[in-house]
Amino acid sequence: MDPEYKKQKDAARTRIDSRYKISGFISSGTYGKVYRASHIATGKDVAIKKFKPEKDFDPHASAFSQSACREIALCRELRHENVVSLDEVMIDPADRSIYMVFDYAEHDLLQILHHHGHTERKPVPEPIAKSLLYQLINGVAYLHANWVLHRDLKPANILLSPTGTVKIGDLGLARLFQQPLLPLFSGDKVVVTIWYRSPELLLGARHYTKAVDMWAVGCIFAELLILRPLFKGEEAKMDSKKNIPFQRHQLLKIFEVLGTPVPQPQGGGIAGMGAMGGEWAQPVWKGMDWMPEYHNLKGFPNYPPALRKVIHQSAPHFRSERGFDLLARMLEYDPNKRITAEQALQHSYFLQEEPQPIMK
């Protein structure tokens, strides 16, 4: 680009501080930083996400990282009450940083869980927990209906507006899964924060579906009940050559709660996680022996299913059989049998049992 023309273009750009007044720092991550601000003309509260330039200290490099490009492209198209709303995108003429301006959300679900688990030391009231869960699923159903995988659902990315409306945020890892330009595995070798990562991802799946998001929703549902992560494993880090390690400890944590799955039914017993009440046999995951990391399961302990016991011990207030059935269907090992967001919205836990969920 001609230097003089570039100079003129940059001079014509609106600077972020000429339109917004920064009032505080919210958080930071590998992508950059998030600030609280207000629109100077209207006084509207907003959250401003500032991306780091793709190559630090190089003013000639593109500021558009892969994560920024994806998030901007998707957020410009998505419009739903339970998905964060993008107001505008701005580029700083000085350092080429990208700014995404969103509606401001007062809290996130992680703060709510911390408040109830550590400050008040009492459970989230069921009407609130049920409404938060329903709104989360409603937002996920919208994303999936529009062929979008979030791929990083966790409490810190579930925002709450001042009116109590859930807003799914941080779409930096989100991908279109209808006719993607590249296979999902090609662009991002590791997706979803470890405690919310589905077993098919942990076993090295090269192809995966919207079921990975529903597993994460199931983990969040359990966390709303017991006020701590259900599967709190220790993550094995990549080595210097960026080889993806086998997440043995995380799988152990899952097996301890859900039982060690087998690729074929054993002994003719009832298998699976979906039935309410009764004796629970060892879960079956048909096709798990074809997963790339299956060979690493040799020597794993043979745990019986214990989800009901864990929930009842940690959340004795929760006695809904329909609610437990919904949780179990979200935490189904086989992604082909895992409940979808659309099916979850129609589950009897929401439609036939009090208290009814509300949207605010």
- Indicate if the pLDDT at residue 275 is higher than 50: no
Write down the pLDDT at residue 21.
95
Q: What's the total number of domains in the chain? A: 2
The CATH code of the domain that includes 29 is 3.30.200.20
User: CB of 193 within 8 A of CB of 187?
Assistant: no
The 3-state secondary structure of 53-66 reads CCCCCCCCCCCCCH
> For residues 285 and 261, is the Cβ–Cβ distance under 8 A?
yes
- Residues 126 and 99 reside in one and the same domain: no
Contact 86, 95 (CB under 8 A): no
Percent helix, strand, coil in the chain (nearest 5)?
A: 35, 15, 50
Q: 166 with 59, same domain?
A: no
Backbone torsion region of residue 76, taken as left when φ is above 0, otherwise alpha when ψ lies between -120 and 50, otherwise beta: alpha
Question: For 320-339, what is the mean pLDDT?
Answer: 97
How confident is the model at residue 180, as a pLDDT?
Answer: 61
Q: Is the pLDDT of residue 17 over 60?
A: yes
| Shared-domain flag, residues 189 and 77 | no
Residue 11 lies in a domain: no
The verdict on residue 14 lying in a domain is no
Local structure of 309: helix, strand or coil: helix
- Tally Cβ neighbours within 10 Å of residue 170: 22
d(CA 201, CA 214): 13
Distance CA 215, CA 192 (A): 10
Say what the pLDDT of residue 101 is: 96
108, 152, 213, 334: the active-site residue: 152
Same domain, 335 and 197: yes
Q: Are residues 74 and 124 in the same domain?
A: no
Tell the burial category of 319 from Cβ atoms under 10 Å away from its Cβ (0-12, 13-18, 19+). exposed
Q: What is the pLDDT of residue 196?
A: 97
Residue 242's pLDDT band (cuts 50, 70, 90): confident
| 325 is known as an active-site residue | no
Q: Tell which of 86, 104, 122 closes a domain.
A: 104
Strand order in the sheet with 45-51: 20-28, 32-39, 45-51, 98-103, 86-91
Question: What's the CATH number where 118 sits?
Answer: 1.10.510.10
pLDDT band at 235 (very low <50, low <70, confident <90, very high): very high
The pLDDT mean for the chain works out to 88
pLDDT tens sequence across 171-194: 988 988 876 655 666 556 678 899
Cα separation, 96 vs 165, in Å, equals: 33
Q: Does 359 fall in a domain?
A: no
- Find the mean pLDDT for residues 141-169: 95
Domain that holds residue 302: 107-266+273-352
Report how far apart the first and last C-alpha atoms of the chain are (Å, whole number). 50
pLDDT for 270: 46
* Model confidence at 241: pLDDT above 80: no
What strands lie across the sheet with 166-168, from one edge to the other? Answer: 107-108, 158-160, 166-168
Q: Are residues 190 and 224 in the same domain?
A: yes
End position of a domain, from candidates 76, 104, 132: 104
- Domain membership of residue 17 (yes or no) is no
The mean pLDDT of 183-211, rounded to a whole number, is 85
If asked whether residues 296 and 181 sit together in one domain, one would say yes
In a domain, 127, yes or no: yes
pLDDT at 276 over 50: no
Q: Percentage of the chain surpassing pLDDT 70?
A: 89
193/305 same-domain check? yes
List, for residues 56-90, the tens digit of each pLDDT value: 545 555 556 777 888 899 999 999 999 999 999 99
Same domain as 85, residue 145? no
Final residue belonging to a domain, choices 53, 83, 104? 104
The reply to whether 139 and 61 lie within a common domain is no
My answer on whether 159 and 201 are in the same domain is yes
Q: Give the pLDDT confidence score for residue 145 in this predicted structure.
A: 97
Confidence band for 6, pLDDT divided at 50, 70 and 90: confident
